[in-house]
Amino acid sequence: MRGAGCTALGILLLASQALLCTSYPLEPPAEEECLEYLQKYQPRSDAALPLKYLQENTELALAARSVSSWAQDVPWPVFLKYVLPYASVDEPRDNWRPLFFQRFLPLIQDARSLSEAALILNEKIWSIWGIVFKPNQTPEIMSPFQVIQAGHASCTGLSIFLVNALRSVGIPARMAGTPEWNTKTGGNHDWVEVLTESGVWSFTGAAEYTEQGFNHTWFVPDPARHSLSGSRRHAIYAVSWADGEGTVSYPLIWHDNDNHTVSAYDVTEYYLEAARKHADARLTLLKLNDLPAS
């Protein structure tokens, strides 16, 4: 896998005359820092992963960082937290970076910004393998290779897939979700957040690309506006492995017991604010439409 990945990488880079290895030499200290970061913050259940896996993941994450100017502009601490990690929750650990790097880099070669590249990926990656949404997967189909093989996944599998696709080209991304909407119909949901060049998180539904771009999804303002900050069932969480800084644990609802393996932020307030903004925008539109024709 490693050999194949590197050869493919070399060919790709020759073909596209990309800048890797020339303008941004990779510094060994950066690689060491990445490995330390992963070993410190990876979920405890990953302790047995081979060092080789972490090394290859790191090499390709750094390579992605060096290919475009906008990836290079991602602040280093953000890179460590949201580009470097090789997984989101406790999905099986696949070696997805070589494949994703090779397949997705050409798609975004002409993208002028990080957010443009992110939207292109959410629009284009699904049809490559004919991947579609299918709810309630038992057993869960969640890792990238499982999803490719099955050709479908629930919102969780699709979100993990998109997070990895974004990270494979150097875009900081993370999975967000709620165990259960605080409404009569309930239901859980997961989606994806991208840290755009503005330095603010924006959100999108995996495989739910829309021309309106970020922050336009079916769940904001409703049902997200009923979410309850601090509630284990009804809050909205965003995965972040770097625990300790105000993090809680991400509810892994596919386990029988709530499983405290992966850390996350409670980001409910962000979505309540987004819901208010959408509601205000709608009201303004309604009022404009109400104006008597003169």
| C-alpha to C-alpha distance for 132 and 120, rounded to whole angstroms | 17
Residues 230-259 touching ligand NAG, rule: CB under 6 A, are 255, 257, 259
Q: How far is the CB of 91 from ligand NAG (least distance, A)?
A: 9
Whichever of 45 and 284 has its CB closer to ligand NAG, that residue is: 45
Q: Least separation, in Å, of the C-beta of 44 and ligand NAG? A: 8
Query: Longest Cα pair distance anywhere in the chain, in angstroms?
Result: 73
Of residues 188 and 202, the one with the C-beta less far from ligand NAG:
202
Contact partners, residue 56, CB within 8 Å, separation at least 6: 1, 2, 5, 95, 97, 98
Q: At what angle do helices 51-67 and 28-41 cross, to 10 degrees?
A: 120
Q: Which of 60, 153 has the CB closer to ligand NAG?
A: 153
User: What track of x and - describes contact with ligand NAG for positions 255 through 294 (by CB under 6 A)?
Assistant: x-x-x-x-----------xx--x-----------------
251: Cβ contacts below 8 Å, ≥ 6 apart: 179, 232, 233, 237, 258
Number of residues that bind ligand NAG (CB under 6 A): 16
Binders of ligand NAG among residues 172 to 201 (CB under 6 A) are: 196, 198, 200
Contact string (CB under 6 A) for ligand NAG, positions 87-116, x = contact: ---x--------------------------
Token pair 């957040």 in the structure block, residue? 193
Among candidate residues 201, 184, 176, the one with its CA nearest the CA of residue 251: 176
Q: Which two tokens stand for residue 208?
A: 């739910």
* 63-to-53, 91, 158, 168 alpha-carbon distances in Å: 15, 24, 24, 9
The yes or no reply on residue 45 touching ligand NAG (CB under 6 A) is yes
Contact characters 199-228, ligand NAG, x per CB under 6 A: -x-x----------xxx-------------
Residue showing the smallest CB distance to ligand NAG in the complex: 90
Q: Quick one: how far is CA 147 from the chain centroid?
A: 15
Residue closer to ligand NAG by CB (options 21, 281) is 281
DSSP 8-state assignment for residue 61: H
Which residues bind to ligand NAG, rule: CB under 6 A? 45, 90, 196, 198, 200, 202, 213-215, 255, 257, 259, 261, 273-274, 277
